[in-house]
Structure 1
Amino acid sequence: MAAPSVGLAITTVIGADGGEAAAMEFRIERSTLTDAVAWAARVLPTRSPVPVLGGLLLEAADGRLRISGLDYEASARIEVEAETVRAGRVLVMGRRLLDVCRVLPEKAVECAVEGSRFSLASDGARFGLSVLPFDDYPPLPSLPEVLGEVDAEEFAAAVAHVAVAAGRDDTLPTLTGIRLALDGDRMTLAATDRYRFAVRTLAWKPGAAGAPDSSPADVVVSARRLTEIARSFGRGGMVRLALDGGSAGFELAGMRTTVRLLDGRLPRHDKLFTMTGAVTAQTDRAPLVEAVKRVAVVAEGGSPLHLTFSEGSVLLQAGYEDDVASQRLPAALEGADDLTVAFNPAYLMDALGSFDNPVIRFQLMGPGQRAMVTGRTPGEDPEEGSRPAHQHLLMSARPLL
């Protein structure tokens, strides 16, 4: 039997702007409410000249609670089950609501609008939050046209693979984004900050859920926003993808979010990724990651980390004069007797950390030139001329040793 509600007699209340605010009363599990508020609050701006944009809109009706938030770049809406006693809506400060949800007892929560406050009560604890006015709150953007769907876990992994190469310089906003390109049943994600370039391809299902077959699309989405979205959807299922001229939308299991597209286009990678005549080397990934971490401790002031490949081994070296470090690992080399290349240690670690494969393969054009990093699994036999799904291009530095 469901626990009785608080049964508050509410018809109409006066909002903070002096107008009417809809009465509302519902009951919900604390963990469900906290997770939903946290998911919607991701998009709230840290600072905004419009105070109501710091609010979350809660709407209860027909056994469902809808929580929405937005700023000028993104929006989020999530629906969860809730025992609706009285349908209605309320606008409250989102981060304060999240703080309250996190400290509530792990019991069912009774929520209601009481006068000009939104109350939350659970197991003897009670909070009252000020109600924000609806007048200045903009409408939530609608979801653009759905083009198809992609596996949530694969999408989250692919976004993480390329996001490490996205730029951090807000004066070059396009380079802070991830290219999302659709062509047939393939999705391509790519990112670059001009010093490295990561690309990941994966399968997707165009024309899902009765939508017409999608035509090719090529847009740029904020890497930070897309990473947050993909990570929040990573629990499983199929993410529906929607695009229009100015925004991208994503929807999964009652969660819906939109994000404004970035202007401009990322440079094409096709010619850059052609490594004709490259020297090939490979080594086990896990020992290489540990060795890079170890040796890079003495690589101060942006000094590079050197890798000298020879038959049967690779020697990692860093540092000059007083402080130096080195470590040798087993490796295989094809196409040269030996070769020394140098990399920014942080960029090299980002690249290596984006792979899950047990073996790392380098294609090296020479000192100070392009170097392609890919992952391999022992025993796999890729098709002739095919490219790996995940590729990470680095610019090597001139060796100083």
Structure 2
Amino acid sequence: MEFQVERAVFAEAVGWAARALPTRTPVPVLGGLLLETGAGLLTVAGFDFEAASRVEVDAETSGTGRVLVLGRRLLDICKVLPDGPVSCAVEGTRFTVEAGGTRFGLSTLPYEEYPALPVPPAPYGGVDAGAFATAVGQVAVAAGRDETLPVLTGIQLRLDGGMMTLSASDRYRYAVRRLEWKPESTAADGPVEALLPARRLLDVTRSLARCGAVRIGLDGGGLLGFEGGRTQTVLRRLEGRLPAYGALFDMAGAAVAEVEREALAEAVRRVAVVAETNSPVRLDFTAGEGVLLRAGYGDDVAAQRLPARLSGAEEVTTAFNPAYLLDALNSFETPGLRLELLGQGQRALLSAAGDTGPSGAHRHLLMSVRQLL
């Protein structure tokens, strides 16, 4: 097995496939990348049972062949190779990489012990790659990090007709984003739901953001496929589903405040400098006076007033974990923000100013804290 490929192309392909490699594994071969050559093609693939990534690139090849090598070691080598053509070959039980007079040798792993890669599911529809990456990023901030509660580490994907809904929650916040997508004519009549690992899905969509379009595949089991250009990723679904958010997002009787998003985010960052760990930032909204932000205790305090328009109440006070509030504010792209407020220790629903429908494009629910200054 021999092939020659440009360094930039090779490094990008190896980097893409290496995204599926596990950080730690008791199965040594799962730390490997599978390289296969065909007629003018090099395929690089990685797999860890939860995700599989595969990419094809053009290369000068001499026949067909395959080799399994340590993925992260190969990735490190690709990062230091000089620009220009890279020549690779299998020599007995060694895989050699040579470029610009520099030569590396890697031990090969036993291919016969490597598990079969999952077959990519049949296409189900497509979505704009950039919009998809943005939407996933907007909800991923609300996904949990506690691996003992795997359901809360996922993003719920719902496909219903021409609408895709993404949602995530860690119990203290709940983000929902809707966007249009194009189902295939063979797509099922009813809605389809799948819970996917948030970190994996975020990584995949960011990598595919410049592909123009992402094709989504579904199978009857536990796999979803994402294909863009000449790259494919298959993710295994998480068991379970997120709690329903319909009742949580019912904000009947809430006061409504409208503020400039970037100004509020900057003010939160500024006053939170004096906040102790886990202490809140307090927001006092007053009709005709705007909003006063405060943080800190005793002599170590900070305050800033901003313009805001309040309706539905003369005044309302609430407080949030500053990191959670900043995550929510930064997940929006619009200049204006609408906050529906139920008061101290209760829910607050954020949405883009002017996006007042019951199923707005992007909504972020935060639980306020009871502890005030």
Structure 2-normalised TM-score?
A: 0.97
Work out whether 1:262 is the aligned partner of 2:234.
no
Which residue number corresponds to residue 369 of structure 2?
Answer: 397
Write the distance in 2 (CA, Å) between the matches of 1:72 and 1:348: 35
* C-alpha distance in structure 2 between counterparts of 1:240 and 1:400, whole Å: 48
- What's 2:164 paired with? 187
Per the TM alignment, residue 360 of structure 1 is displaced from its structure 2 partner at its CA by 1.3
- Tell me, yes or no, if the aligned pair for 2:318 and 2:345 is still in contact at 8 Å: yes
The letter of the residue matching 2:138 is H
**Distance in 2 of aligned mates of 1:225 and 1:296:** 31
2:360 aligned partner: 388
Aligned to 1:149: 126
Q: Partners of 1:386 and 1:341 in 2: how far apart?
A: 23
State whether structure 2 residue 113 is matched by structure 1 residue 136.
yes
Residues 305 and 342, structure 1, Cα contact 8 Å, conserved in 2 = yes
| 2:212 corresponds to | 237
Alpha-carbon deviation of 1:367? Answer: 1.5
Please give the alpha-carbon distance, in whole angstroms, between the structure 2 residues aligned to 1:118 and 1:163: 39
Structure 2 Cα separation of the partners of residues 341 and 231 of structure 1: 34
Q: Secondary structure at the match of 1:275?
A: coil
For structure 2, the residue ranges without an aligned partner over 5 or more in a row are none
Deviation at 1:88, TM superposition (A): 1.1
Who is 1:305 aligned against? 281
Shift of 1:87: 2.2
Asked whether the 8 Å contact 1:27–1:85 carries over to 2, the reply is no
2:178 paired residue number: 201
Contact 1:341 1:399 in 2 (8 A): no
CA distance in 2, matches of 1:42, 1:332: 46
Deviation at 1:226, TM superposition (A): 0.6
- Report sequence identity in percent: 57
Q: CA RMSD in A?
A: 1.3
Aligned counterpart, 2:28: 51
Cα distance between partner residues in 2 of 1:162 and 1:175: 12
Q: CA deviation at 1:215?
A: 3.6
Q: Which residue pairs with 2:250 in the alignment?
A: 274
Aligned counterparts, 1:2-401, within 5 A: 24-207=1-184, 211-213=186-188, 215-244=190-219, 245-310=221-286, 311-376=288-353, 385-401=357-373
Residue 60 of structure 1, CA deviation: 0.9
| Partners of 1:365 and 1:131 in 2: CA distance | 61
The CA deviation string for residues 164-188 of structure 1, in whole angstroms up to 9 with x for no partner, is 0011111111011000011110000
Deviation at 1:387, TM superposition (A): 3.1
Which whole-Å CA distance do the structure 2 matches of 1:301 and 1:31 have between them?
44
The one-letter amino acid paired with 1:158 is A
The whole-number CA distance in structure 1 between the counterparts of 2:358 and 2:260 is 22
Aligned residue for 1:324, secondary structure, equals: strand
CA distance in 1: counterparts of 2:161 and 2:63, whole angstroms: 47
SS in 1 for 2:113: coil
Q: Which amino acid aligns with 1:156?
A: A
Q: What SS does the aligned partner of 2:43 have?
A: strand
The DSSP-based 3-state class of the residue aligned with 2:76 is helix
Whichever residue aligns with residue 396 of structure 1, its letter is: S
Gaps of 5+ in 1: 1-23
User: C-alpha distance in 1, partners of 2:260/2:194?
Assistant: 36
Whether the 8 Å contact between 2:211 and 2:229 is mirrored in structure 1 is: no
Please report how far the alpha carbon of residue 212 of structure 1 lies from its aligned counterpart in structure 2 after TM superposition. Answer: 4.2
Instruction: Name the residue aligned to 1:21.
Output: none
Relative to structure 1, the CA distance from residue 255 to residue 215 in structure 2 (aligned partners, 3 Å threshold; closer, same or farther) is farther
Structure 1 CA distance for aligned equivalents of residues 237 and 64 of structure 2? 35
Match of 2:352, as an amino acid? G
Give the conservation status (yes or no) of the 8 Å contact 2:11–2:78.
yes
After superposition, give the CA deviation of every residue in 1:141-183 in whole Å (9 maximum; x if it has no partner): 0012321111110110000000000111111110110000111
TM-score by length of 1: 0.90
Note the C-alpha offset of 1:120. 1.1
Equivalent-residue separation in structure 1 for 2:187 and 2:193 (angstroms): 18
Q: How much has 1:214 moved relative to structure 2?
A: 5.5
